[in-house]
Each structure stands twice: as structure tokens, then as C-alpha cells.
């Protein structure tokens, strides 16, 4: 659909380990920053969409997560819609909020993503990830991952999935090994993604990790699941991010100096398709480009779902940044680094900024909005005009369960 939605304000917490801070405090900080950035009060909000994926398992909060978080800062009476869609929860919340504003039902709404993943019992955290697949087929999935690892000689990946680490790292590792075998992609190229994103994240004060790593540092790190070393895997984290979305009429009324338009937001679920057919990422990206009236060549900056280093490299082709199998070349020639043709994950990405799953999609929007408004400091992309966010979640078959591609324009 044609969107009529603008971002009036953004807010975000520092991502990281917040064992002593609850969902309410994290969400409140992001919301209050977004309201202040928009120059409005909480009484101006007409509705809210709140994304969260794992609170039920990790904190025990079910059913009314959004209402609990917002009521803690005195926001009530308005409709609050709770959104759960795996790692795409926050981008789904934004998609729905922008659609309702565009449909004319509201002029001023809130989209919030908030998550706590750190817990003294790590099995609760890993359980949240294991629940983002078809649990009735979980035994079959685990057996398939183990068999693929053993056949590929991946000794670290042959055991521990879902117990010592998120099982999604094993899914990404299997995809990485297949990409290497088919296209000749190298482990050094995957490590280059982590090194690049560490450079970007070193300049982001809200990032979970700010240490700058070299390719050699990444390769020397402990092996998690071949070929993924620890810096090639996104970390567990806590945090929140929020945006205030307004109609064009409200944007004029507020006199926004640097309005950012939601030019497209495409949300789809995966389906059964052949391994060589266009999948979820390709389909969402193509539709988003058509709706926004832009192409890959027009992108100034991209925030994409680098839950692992191979995920970013593989997504380059899905978004049309290169031909299939040529993602490694973009890493080597610096095309996706700050100063390159299309900088990717200037925030540090999920690998360095962090990945509190229910907050990630809106955190991407915060980064892109600030880039388009020229307020990203040392990591600013000069003259940024068009930004794309790519945020997927869950896994069924050979594709993500849900994915949202959003395009913002200045």
C-alpha cells in the first residue's frame, strides 16, 4: 500500500547486559527519548504497537506486555497492540503502526520494541530461540543440523545446538558452509563482515560492543559452530527502541525540520519454495523498491539482519546489492564499509550493536532516521537520502518465518 507516514522522533537505550533493569524501565527510557525527540507529550499519542518476542519465557510476563510497559510511565487509555513475530517483532510493530496512520485512523502513534534476553538461567534464553522454529519438528531439525555438521567435518557444530548456544547459529553455520561450497566464499570474507561492523560499532555509543576487531582477531576467536567464531555471531542482549510516527498533516503541524518518510514497509511470511527460487528477502525487497520508487542503486545506507556474519553477506544479493554468490567481493573492496558505495550496518549491526530480538527492527529504524537527518556523528554517511532496513525472524524450512523490509527517505 502507499504509505502516508513520517517519523517525528526516535529513542533508544544502550544495548547490552541489563540484569537489574526490567522491561518497564528499558521501554520507558526509549519511549521518553522518542517523545522528547518528536517534541510532543505522551498525551498526544493516539495508539501504540509494542513488539516483544521472548518476555513470556525469560521474564514470565505474558499477554499484556505493552500495556505493562506503557502504564509504568502513565500511558493508558489508548489502544495498545502487542506484537510478537520473532526477531521481526519490532519491524512488524512499525509496519502496522505506519499502515494505520496511512489509512487515516490516527495522526500520532508509537511503535516500540523492547526485550530482555539475559537471565541467570541461560536455558531460558536459549529456549526462546529454540521456540522460533516449528517445535513439533524440533527433533528432526536438530538431527538434520547434527548430520550436516558431521558430514561437513564441523566438529564444534556437531553438538551443543540449543544448549550451549542459540540453535540459530547452527542454522546460519550450515548456510555458510553451503555458500562456501557453492560460490567459493571464504571464511576470511565472513570475518571481514565482523571486522567492518566492529569498526562501525566502535563509533556508536549505544552499541553493546565497541572494541574494534581485525579480520585476524575474528578468526582467532573461539569457534562456535564451523565456520562461525564468536564475533561472527550476534550476542544476547537487552534493550529497547521507539519511534513516533505521524501523518503528513501532523508532520506539517509539528513543523518537522528534517522529516523522514516511511516510503515503503513490506511484511511477508515465508513459504515453501525451491532453493534456487527467489525467497522471502528477495520478494520483500523487490516489492519495497517498487512501492518506494527506488532501486538498490539509490540506497545511501542499509541496516540489515546480520544475526551472523554469513547472514549479512548472503543478504547482499537478496537486496540486489550484488549478483548471487558475489557478496564476498563487496566485503573485500570496501563497498559496504563507511566511505564505500553502500555502507551497511553503520550502527555496528546486530553483531556489535547487539540483538535484543524484540527491539532490533526499530533500532534499525532509529539508526537510519538519524543517518538521513545527518546526526550520526563520526559514522555519518555523507548526503544520506535513502535508507533500507531488512529484519527477519524465525525459521521454517529453508527460509525465515517472517521478514520486513522498510525504506525511509529524507
Q: Which residues are catalytic?
A: 87, 355
Q: Please state, in angstroms and rounded to a whole number, the distance separating the CA atoms of residues 68 and 74.
A: 10
Q: Please state, in angstroms and rounded to a whole number, the distance separating the CA atoms of residues 388 and 303.
A: 6
Closest CA to 409 of 373, 381, 382: 373
Alpha helices in 51-209 (DSSP H): 55-58, 65-71, 89-102, 122-130, 138-151, 167-183, 187-201
The H or E element that residue 396 is part of is: strand 386-396
Are 9 and 46 a contacting pair, CB within 8 Å?
Answer: no
The H or E element that residue 10 is part of is: strand 6-12
Q: How far is CA 192 from the centre of its chain?
A: 20
Burial label for 396, CB within 10 Å (0-12, 13-18, 19+), is: middle
Closest CA to 93 of 31, 50, 35: 50
DSSP 22: -
Q: Please state, in angstroms and rounded to a whole number, the distance separating the CA atoms of residues 130 and 118.
A: 15
Residues in the chain: 410
* CB neighbour burial string for 168-183, b if at least 16 within 10 angstroms, e if fewer: bbbbbbbebbbbbeeb
What residues contact residue 219 under an 8 Å CB cut-off, 6+ apart?
187, 188, 191, 229
Q: Please state, in angstroms and rounded to a whole number, the distance separating the CA atoms of residues 285 and 280.
A: 8
Q: Please state, in angstroms and rounded to a whole number, the distance separating the CA atoms of residues 87 and 370.
A: 22
Q: Please state, in angstroms and rounded to a whole number, the distance separating the CA atoms of residues 9 and 37.
A: 5
DSSP string, 300-318: SEEEE--SBHHHHHHHHHH
Amino acid at each position: 500500500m502507499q504509505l502516508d507516514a513520517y517519523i517525528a522522533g526516535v529513542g533508544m537505550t544502550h544495548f547490552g547486559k541489563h540484569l537489574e533493569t526490567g522491561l518497564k524501565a528499558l521501554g520507558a527510557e526509549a519511549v521518553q527519548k522518542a517523545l522528547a525527540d518528536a517534541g510532543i507529550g505522551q498525551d498526544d499519542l493516539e495508539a501504540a504497537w509494542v513488539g516483544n518476542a521472548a518476555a513470556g519465557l525469560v521474564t514470565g510476563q505474558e499477554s499484556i506486555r505493552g500495556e505493562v510497559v506503557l502504564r509504568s510511565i502513565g500511558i493508558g487509555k489508548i489502544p495498545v497492540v502487542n506484537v510478537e513475530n520473532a526477531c521481526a517483532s519490532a519491524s512488524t510493530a512499525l509496519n502496522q503502526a505506519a499502515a494505520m496512520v496511512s489509512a487515516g485512523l490516527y495522526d500520532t502513534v508509537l511503535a516500540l520494541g523492547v526485550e530482555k534476553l539475559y537471565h541467570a538461567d541461560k536455558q531460558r534464553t536459549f529456549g526462546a530461540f529454540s521456540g522460533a522454529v516449528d517445535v513439533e519438528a524440533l527433533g528432526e531439525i536438530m538431527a538434520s543440523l547434527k548430520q550436516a555438521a558431521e558430514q561437513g567435518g564441523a566438529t564444534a557444530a556437531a553438538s551443543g545446538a540449543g544448549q550451549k548456544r542459540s540453535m540459530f547459529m547452527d542454522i546460519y553455520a550450515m548456510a555458510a558452509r553451503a555458500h562456501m561450497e557453492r560460490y567459493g566464499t571464504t571464511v576470511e570474507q565472513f570475518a571481514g563482515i565482523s571486522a567492518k561492523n566492529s569498526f562501525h560499532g566502535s563509533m556508536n555509543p549505544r552499541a553493546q560492543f565497541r572494541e574494534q576487531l581485525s579480520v585476524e582477531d575474528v578468526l582467532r576467536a573461539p569457534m562456535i559452530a564451523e565456520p562461525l567464531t564468536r564475533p561472527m555471531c550476534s550476542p544476547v542482549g537487552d534493550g529497547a527502541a521507539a519511534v513516533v510516527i505521524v501523518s503528513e498533516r501532523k508532520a506539517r503541524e509539528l513543523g518537522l525540520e528534517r522529516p523522514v518518510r516511511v516510503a515503503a514497509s513490506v511484511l511477508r511470511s515465508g513459504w515453501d519454495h525451491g532453493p534456487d527460487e527467489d525467497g522471502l528477502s528477495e520478494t520483500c525487497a523487490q516489492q519495497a523498491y517498487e512501492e518506494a520508487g527506488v532501486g538498490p542503486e539509490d540506497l545511501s545506507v542499509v541496516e540489515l539482519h546480520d544475526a551472523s556474519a554469513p547472514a549479512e553477506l548472503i543478504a547482499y544479493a537478496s537486496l540486489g546489492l550484488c549478483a548471487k554468490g558475489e557478496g564476498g567481493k563487496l566485503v573485500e573492496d570496501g563497498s559496504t564499509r563507511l566511505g564505500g558505495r553502500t555502507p551497511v550496518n553503520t550502527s555496528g549491526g546486530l553483531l556489535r550493536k547487539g540483538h535484543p530480538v524484540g527491539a532490533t527492527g526499530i533500532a534499525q529504524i532509529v539508526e537510519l532516521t538519524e543517518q538521513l537527518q545527518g546526526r550520526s556523528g563520526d559514522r555519518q554517511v555523507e548526503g544520506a537520502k535513502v535508507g533500507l532496513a531488512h529484519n527477519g525472524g524465525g525459521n521454517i524450512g529453508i527460509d525465515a518465518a517472517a521478514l520486513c523490509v522498510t525504506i525511509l527517505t529524507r
